[in-house]
Each structure stands twice: as C-alpha cells, then as structure tokens.
Structure 1
C-alpha cells in the first residue's frame, strides 16, 4: 500500500499514517473487500471526495490487520463491543473472530491514523480548527484545560493548544469505547505541549503530524 507509512512506535502501540486524498490511494471502490456496513457508510457520503477518503482509510485498516493476521483484507471481520456507558452495541470496534490485536482508526481531511496495540487503544487525527471553532471547543473542555488555555498569550497559541487537547480527549474516549457521549468536560487530558494528562490506568501521547494536522494516541490498561 503506497499510501500507507508506518510511524515510529509509541511504546507498545504501532502506528500507521495513511494518505487518503483522491488519487493517492490504489484505485477501486472497495467492492469485494469492505463489508456491508462499510459499504453502506461509504455510499451515504454526499461528496465524492469524502467517500473516497473513507474507502481509502478502511481499505488501509483492513490491509494492516490482514497482514498482521495472515489473511486477506476482505476476510477481516469486525464487531462492536458493548458501550461501557450504557451497555449498547456501539462501543469500540473490535475483531469479530480473534481476541486481538486491539485497533483504532481515525481520519480527517486527507489523512488517516491507524493504531494497533495489545490493550484497548484510541487514536485521533484532526485538521487544525479555525480560530472560531477553537473558541467553541474551549467551552466544552475540562475546567483545568480551560484554565491552561486562558493563561496562554496569543490566539494562535490557544488555537494549537485547543487542537492538542481535543485529539487527546477524542483518542481517550475512543479507546474507552464511549466516544463523545461521555462528555468532553469530565476527563482531564491537558492542553499544554509535551504534558498530556492521563486518566487512571491510561497513557496518552501526542503523535507528530504533517503541517495542518494534530494527533494523539491513548493506550489503556493491560500492557
């Protein structure tokens, strides 16, 4: 997969950066490889560029997992674990017929991030938000994170810090299996550079990204 590049490992977590821009991924619409749910989601996109990015990200995930498991990408089977918040069948995605590895996929803009780990893992990559969006996100962060942001000198520094806090938070909530339904003001992950917070039993690390993006990975108990 020419559009997939393995990044330096983050502890026991292996990471891959995927370029999903139209023309960067191998041609094809995923027919015969993606399952019915992935195909349904792909068909639901209004804009073709979003559909192409989604397909490229999911084909990359299947390729990475298939290589790890010794099977064809089309033979990788997924399920959803129970949500730890409500017990519903919409928690973390998992492999349906094998106990591991744990994995996480995130995509934004022309990039996707894949993480594989021996314990629950969450990954998040995002395009940097506009100043206006950063202000909106600030209002729903943890009180300690809002205090850190208020102490920063300029709007650009605050914008970058909001983006940093947001991907850390999303990575953790994805790894936890609740997603944003848990509430983004409940858990402290930190907004300052090189100092992510870590909810009990979890570790959080920032992942270097190309200009215009930010990313983080969260690893849960079990390693």
Structure 2
C-alpha cells in the first residue's frame, strides 16, 4: 500500500495563543475534512492573565488538580493551558468559557470514565498537552490527539528507553549520545499523540507501537494521520488526526499512515 508520513505534508500551521486575542471573539471551528487547528501557548508570557481569569473560568476540579501539583512551574503551565483550552472552546462554540460542558468518553479498553476528553454533544474534538512551560492545543472535526514534551536529559533517556519499541531502541543506539534526547522526544510525542487520539493513553504500552525516532514519523495505523508539530528548540510536538472510521493497528506493533 502507499506509505506516507506527516513529514511529507506541508508543516502544520501553529498559531501563537494570546488570551487577549481570543477573549470575547468568535473563531471559525475546524471544518470536516480539514486539518486540525493547532495553538501553541507559552505559559510564562501569560501569568497576569492566568492569575486574573483562572479562578473564574476553571471549574473546581481543574483548580484542585492544579493545586495538587507540587512544582510551581508545572502548576503554572497546567493553569495556563487549561485556561487556554476553555477560552478557545468558548470562542469556537460561542459560549462563555466557564460554561463549556467538558466531558470524558468511556475508555475503549476497560469502559471506565477516563477515555478521550471532549465536549458534550461532540460539536468538535480537542486534545491538549503541556510540558516545560509550553502548552499545545489541537481542535478538529474528527478525533484528535496532541502531545508536547521538553527534550529530556541524556540520563533520563537511558532510564526510560524501555518505553520505546525494540526497533526504536536500536535506532537510538546507533546515534551519538548528543542526538539521542531529541530523537527519544520525537518518538515519545508521536506515540502519546496517537494513544491520546485513540482515547486509551498509556493504558496501552507505548513500547508496543513503532513511531520512529527519525526526522519523519513512521506513522500510525491506516485510520490515522500522524504529523510532527514545530514547537521550537528544546521541545518536540506531534498531532494525530483520525482519517478513517475503522482505526485498527497491525498486530506486529508497527504503525501505518494514510496519505
């Protein structure tokens, strides 16, 4: 079958998020058949806006989860990204951000209430991720998954290598030590984006999936399109978009892409 990767498409457009630019505005939702709309948020740039708006916009559960984060930078990034999510959903849907009806689908593996997050009625689909002061938000007319991660330190790569597919571990071993952290990050965000799009998250072993460590993603199964997202130096990002109603991976643990 034809084999393609997200890297063969035009790089996805990533918009810079600014709370002031979206508050009180209407945005055109992503169109069926069109690409996901992506937003990149730098948490440190919006401290004043977050401090002012988060207590009124975020619900009690979101505020409690933020308060439970012990590292201040993690808490700041969580609050900024979740505030950004509600502001953008409000702008897409034409409702007050605090009243966006966020839901969780059932997990496709166990049926528990911890599957892919969404909006009641599925007027659009979204995914969000935050790491290292960055937040990545994806919105689409189809199920979507997004992930952003800071490039890890070399010792962290060595400790976490068992989360990679055997082929990815072999690829990493062939690289010079300085090239391994960004290669690891590329593989990891591709896996996370795909698994989040499926709604299973890390309940499915990341090591069972081959997404590749190279400059081009190896892809996902034929029902999904996987694309690397440019998020700046020191981090990696990826988005997975559903393109076919029957997402079934191959039993050998490799993953395919659709053109």
Task: State the TM-score, normalizing by the size of structure 1.
Answer: 0.89
Q: 1:1-223 residue pairs with structure 2 within 5 A?
A: 2=18, 12-21=35-44, 24=47, 26=49, 27-28=51-52, 30-96=54-120, 98-152=121-175, 154-222=176-244
Q: Which runs of 5+ in 1 are unaligned?
A: none
Shift of 1:69: 0.2
Q: Which runs of 5+ in 2 are unaligned?
A: 1-16, 23-29, 246-259
Shift of 1:119: 1.2
What SS does the aligned partner of 1:209 have? coil
Q: Distance in 2 between matches of 1:113 and 1:4?
A: 18
Shift of 1:127: 0.6
- The answer to whether the 8 Å contact 2:190/2:217 transfers is no
Residue 222 to residue 72, structure 1, CA distance change in 2 (3 Å)? farther
* Cα offsets for 1:44-77 (capped at 9, x unmatched): 1223333222111111011111100011111111
- The answer to whether the 8 Å contact 1:4/1:18 transfers is no
What SS does the aligned partner of 1:103 have? strand
What SS does the aligned partner of 2:56 have? coil
Residue 36 to residue 164, structure 1, CA distance change in 2 (3 Å)? same
Q: CA RMSD in A?
A: 2.2
Larger RCO: Structure 1 or Structure 2 (Cα < 8 Å, ≥ 6 residues apart)? 2
Which of the two has greater strand per residue?
1
- Runs of 4 or more above 3 Å deviation: 3-6, 22-25
Task: State the TM-score, normalizing by the size of structure 2.
Answer: 0.78
Match of 2:256?
A: none
Shift of 1:222: 4.5
- The answer to whether the 8 Å contact 1:128/1:163 transfers is yes
Residue 130 to residue 19, structure 1, CA distance change in 2 (3 Å)? same
* Cα offsets for 1:159-204 (capped at 9, x unmatched): 2111100010111111111111101111111111123322231111
| Matched positions, count | 218
Residue 175 to residue 197, structure 1, CA distance change in 2 (3 Å)? same
- The answer to whether the 8 Å contact 1:188/1:199 transfers is no
What SS does the aligned partner of 2:236 have? strand
